[in-house]
Structure 1
Amino acid sequence: MYYYLPSKMPLFLYLVFLVLGLHCAPLKSSEGKVTTCHSPQQNATLYKMSSINADFAFNLYRRFIVETPDRNIFFSPVSISAALAMLSLGAYSSTQTQILESLGFNLTDTPTAEIQQGFQHLICSLNFPKKELELQMGNALFIGKQLKPLAKFLDDVKSLFETEVFSIDFSNVSAAQQEINSHVEKQTKGNVVGLIQHLKPSTIMILVNYIHFKAQWANPFDPSKTEEGSSFLVDKTTMVHVPMMHQMEQYYHLVDTELNCTVLQMDYSRNALALFVLPKEGQMEWVEGAMSSKTLKKWNRLLQKGWIDLFVPKFSISASYELGTILLKMGIQDAFADNADFPGFTEDNGLKLSNAAHKSVLHVGEKGTEAVDVPGVRFLDQPEITLLHPIIQFDRSFLLLILEKSTRSILFLGKVVDPTEV
């Protein structure tokens, strides 16, 4: 038997995009979970989506600049895109249109069904087990036990977005918070505790989205060559000291004279790469304004491999965002209003989106995104090199992108203004 809330009582949906790039224990892909994904999917929509998702990522990044000027920025674009696409499953009319158009899709060129299928292929490809790369995107949907979710919606979120669905009693706020937080803590191997703190009894649905990423550099740094206390220029008057990793190695790199920046590609051992973008002094805003999917394609075409003398800080970066205001400014308005149209979720009326939260963390060290000992890695003494190589030194604010190769997805995007800020 289901209890239906009075139509005048506000019913809130919460989106919580929980994003992790932590030093977690390995996640075993698909273990103990029912999944419809058996092999990576490749189709034309997936490749078209990579450009659309990239442009959404940079548009969202520019919103974060306005919200948090002169601060570190870090988030997972692909995670936010997937969660919003999942929200659109239950939305109709202008509510759905606003969500998908804010993501960058032209619904005349790309029908809704094709978009949803594209995200299914994307999530399947990202979650498919890969050697030497731990990458797992997950979703969990907590639905108030008094609601009657539609069978089609439950089938779609499981098949398209590999989402676990749980029934929960939101009227018991403390118990509901504990249940959700316990699930998050378990999925993140204890690295995120107490995520939900201020739950409202009127909440009827919460979506938790997370992405776990851990990989080793193709060319790990020798810890003995890391220079402690190196200078890093935060702004014209502020200097901090950080451990600076050092390596003489061959990397793909370029100098973009049009955007006045240096681009360095650091490959992970498998299926992923990081782009470090160092604008010339005073040119950060120029580079930020020009970033787009076309920029990435240009860099991919122009990058050339060569010896460089490289200096990269060892750092951790994290950020938390309340996305409600930003999503409103990006055009997702009806979802937050009383006229929100979410009939695809349940037989109940009056659902609307209350808020969306996002948290991300990443650690960059000598071995990769995790500063742990790796068996079998040996560092040989380098002979003295008399040839002079270009020096690339990330000793001031720079941009950081982490991409998955097979889907061309931006897993993480950020700006390091102060590498000592945690």
Structure 2
Amino acid sequence: MSVFLYLFLLVSGLQTTIHCVQYNISEGKVTTFHLPQQNATLYKMSSINAGFAFSLYHRFPVENPDWNIFFSPESTSAALAMFSFGSGSNTQTPILEVLGFNLTHTPITELHQGFQHLICSLNFPKNELELQKRNAVFIGQQLKTLARVLDDIKTLYETEVFPIDFSNVSAAQQEINSYVEKQAKGKIIDLIQDLRLNIIMILVNYIHFKAQWANPFHVSKTEESSSFSVDKTTAIQVPMMHHLEQCYHFLDVKLNCTVLRMDYSENALARSVLPKEGHIEGVETTMSSKTLKKSNYLLKKGYTQMCVPKFSISATYDLGSTLQKMGMRDAFAESADLPGITRDNGLKLSYCVFLSHRFFHKAVLHIGEQGTKEVAAPAAVSLEQPEVASLHPIIQFDRTFLLMVLEKRTRSIIFLGKVINSAKE
């Protein structure tokens, strides 16, 4: 599987990722630290972020019930947390409340250090899993930026900051697009195509995720044309991968769905939820951080015949209006309080909007036999499998299903989505 996520905010705000350092906000001290194998703060952050992930997810089917859904909850949370760093209390509090944080239970220092630890953990080098978050802020040369705050952002959220002349629209657009294309290894070209003169800051965030299945599918067993039901009256033909292996799964009789866990070769997993026909809405309404934790204990390992479509999925969102409906209104209003970003008055999030009042988020996912097209097939692909497949349960993803990609150590939901049409990117 190879995933590239591009989250860009045309903002007067800030954004995400981190060096492995411990930063004391109140004292302004920076020290290096070793990434802990177990950390209660990471689990606490991941649980809160999961709550926000499902709250945001529940907005999408209402607005676009027939569309595929795919986004990165962790990146969105970190982006907004970074933006809150430069906000005054009237703007900051609603942002953090929408994210699911209570400053009485989670002090602001702990919150930012929690994101620092989380991002550092996600970026920590791994042998067979590529997972990296990178960010850049392009800020207008005319703005009187507060160096201390930007330094804090660089330290806490591992963000590069570049001054740029937005008055030369063509040159600024080319500079930003060239940066993104290079950092994304050519996976995205011409990210911004209609830069406007009223832009004062642009934030670019991307996640690169590349992993190989712990037990790859056999290419020879892929059925090139198999039926996938989009709805009651529409079926399409898609390539369907087949595999018999030991994996974690369970049938949730109460929620009318089957849950399947597929592991990657190192520290990541994909969890797919297949509702019974006609029960997708019921399953979606029950999705929460609590049900996610519960399913961890219900998964049991055993041989399973899996039938999984080979597909690509992508989605682009303007999250500005959605976040306002969730309660983040002040950040987009004339009354926005953003003293921590620049010394300039009247700076608000709506100015940072590309095509006005927009918070753009794009994610792309590819699922194939090896996990990713760039990874060569392992030498042991000819492992023998039990011959009597009929004795094992069959899980066939031939209709709408839900998909999550999680990082094992932090339990973070890196990606979350719903596949309605597996033939439509």
Normalising to structure 2: TM-score of the pair?
0.90
Moved more, 349-358 or 284-293: 349-358
Specify the alignment match of 1:196 in structure 2: 192
Deviation at 1:17, TM superposition (A): 9.2
Deviations 1:259-283 (A, max 9, x none): 1100000000110000010001111
1-side partners of 2:222 and 2:31: how far apart?
A: 45
Say if 2:210 is the partner of 1:214: yes
Deviation at 1:197, TM superposition (A): 1.7
The answer to whether the 8 A contact 2:15-2:78 is kept is no
The answer to whether the 8 A contact 1:273-1:405 is kept is yes
Say if 2:43 is the partner of 1:47: yes
SS in 2 for 1:351: coil
2-side partners of 1:132 and 1:176: how far apart?
A: 37
The answer to whether the 8 A contact 2:255-2:283 is kept is yes
Specify the alignment match of 2:11 in structure 1: 13
2-side partners of 1:95 and 1:245: how far apart?
A: 48
Deviations 1:190-249 (A, max 9, x none): 111111122221211111111110101111000000011000000000000111000111
Deviation at 1:350, TM superposition (A): 1.0
Amino acid at match of 1:245: M
Specify the alignment match of 1:326 in structure 2: 322
2-side partners of 1:290 and 1:329: how far apart?
A: 21
Specify the alignment match of 1:113 in structure 2: 109
Deviation at 1:364, TM superposition (A): 0.3
Structure 1 residue corresponding to 2:305, chosen from 288, 305, 309: 309
2-side partners of 1:376 and 1:410: how far apart?
A: 31
Deviation at 1:343, TM superposition (A): 0.6
1-side partners of 2:32 and 2:317: how far apart?
A: 31
Deviation at 1:121, TM superposition (A): 0.3
SS in 1 for 2:415: strand
SS in 1 for 2:106: coil
The runs of 5 or more residues in structure 1 that have no matched partner are 1-11, 19-28
Say if 2:150 is the partner of 1:154: yes
1-side partners of 2:121 and 2:396: how far apart?
A: 35
2-side partners of 1:210 and 1:13: how far apart?
A: 16
The answer to whether the 8 A contact 1:17-1:356 is kept is no
The answer to whether the 8 A contact 1:13-1:351 is kept is no
- Structure 2 vs 1, CA of residues 296 and 383 (structure 1 numbering), >3 Å: closer, same or farther? closer
Say if 2:256 is the partner of 1:260: yes
Aligned length: 397
The answer to whether the 8 A contact 1:15-1:208 is kept is no
Structure 2 residue corresponding to 1:65, chosen from 61, 68, 72: 61
The answer to whether the 8 A contact 2:407-2:413 is kept is yes
2-side partners of 1:16 and 1:160: how far apart?
A: 11
Specify the alignment match of 1:374 in structure 2: 377
Amino acid at match of 2:35: P
Specify the alignment match of 2:364 in structure 1: 361
Deviation at 1:335, TM superposition (A): 0.9
Specify the alignment match of 1:408 in structure 2: 411
SS in 1 for 2:306: strand
2-side partners of 1:386 and 1:136: how far apart?
A: 39
SS in 1 for 2:303: strand
Specify the alignment match of 1:336 in structure 2: 332
The answer to whether the 8 A contact 2:14-2:137 is kept is no
Deviation at 1:318, TM superposition (A): 0.4
Deviation at 1:383, TM superposition (A): 5.7
Give the superposed CA RMSD. 2.0
Amino acid at match of 1:97: T
| Identical aligned residues as a percent | 67
- Structure 2 vs 1, CA of residues 382 and 405 (structure 1 numbering), >3 Å: closer, same or farther? closer
Specify the alignment match of 1:393 in structure 2: 396
SS in 2 for 1:203: coil
The runs of 5 or more residues in structure 2 that have no matched partner are 1-9, 21-29, 351-357
Say if 2:128 is the partner of 1:128: no
Specify the alignment match of 1:232 in structure 2: 228
Structure 1 residue corresponding to 2:421, chosen from 396, 399, 418: 418
Say if 2:276 is the partner of 1:276: no
2-side partners of 1:317 and 1:17: how far apart?
A: 25
Specify the alignment match of 2:3 in structure 1: none
Normalising to structure 1: TM-score of the pair?
0.90
Deviations 1:316-338 (A, max 9, x none): 00000111100111111111111
Moved more, 280-289 or 198-207: 198-207
Deviations 1:350-392 (A, max 9, x none): 1111221000001000011446433534324546326611111
